[in-house]
A = this chain, B = another copy of it.
């Protein structure tokens, strides 16, 4: 049928190629960046401004948990943004499924201002760490899903094999596994969970590269 053929042509053009349909590709990326920028800026709303505090300095010092959660979450969302940035640089085009996967991933990112506030307010409740760890595991798993899908559907640039080796290979599963494992660990020791998160961010990429057999030059 004529309509069917036209439609297929239109649908195919929806899987926009980076060079051909520059505007559309960059719109999806710009939308994601916008969500990241807003989520990272909303983190500040979790730091409560004390009301009618007789001794402001003392109250602010007691909000240490809020500030630590802010710093941790800013670093976390920042790192996720850098990874997403690197991923979309390596991407050749989006199809409808990848757009959907990207939205699921972003739904995890926009939850961070909530789970971060919970963590800042309930620094001594294991439930707060479990909620936070679940959020990070969700983001990590859905990011892996996006990368794996893009890799298998041939949506990545051919020259980005080092990228895909790290993120779509066993090394990435290790990172994701660490986040998932930090959920039960938070039940036993909240400090251990925080330590694991920090370690993952500091040495995570280096370790992942080693496992993937990639020598770093920088």
CA of A29 to CA of B106 in the docked complex: distance in angstroms?
Answer: 20
CA of A40 to CA of B108 in the docked complex: distance in angstroms?
Answer: 12
CA of A165 to CA of B7 in the docked complex: distance in angstroms?
Answer: 10
Interface size class of A (residues with CB under 8 A): 35 or more
Beyond A36-B31, A49-B118, whether A74 also contacts B103 by CB under 8 A is yes
Render A207-218 as a binary contact track against B, CB cut-off 8 A, 1 for contact. 001001111111
Chain B residues whose CB sits within 8 angstroms of the CB of A160 once the complex forms: 10
Chain B residues whose CB sits within 8 angstroms of the CB of A209 once the complex forms: 7
Scan residues 162-177 of chain A and give those whose CB is less than 8 A from a CB of chain B. 162-163, 165
Interface residues of A (CB under 8 A from B): 1, 3-4, 6-12, 14, 16, 21, 23-24, 26-31, 33-47, 49-51, 53, 56-57, 60, 70-71, 74-75, 78, 81-82, 85-86, 89, 95-96, 99, 103, 106-107, 110-111, 113-114, 117-118, 121-122, 125, 127-128, 130-131, 159-163, 165, 209, 212-218
4 additional A-B pairs beyond A31-B33, A45-B45, A60-B127, beta carbons within 8 Å, are: A3-B212, A28-B85, A38-B41, A71-B107
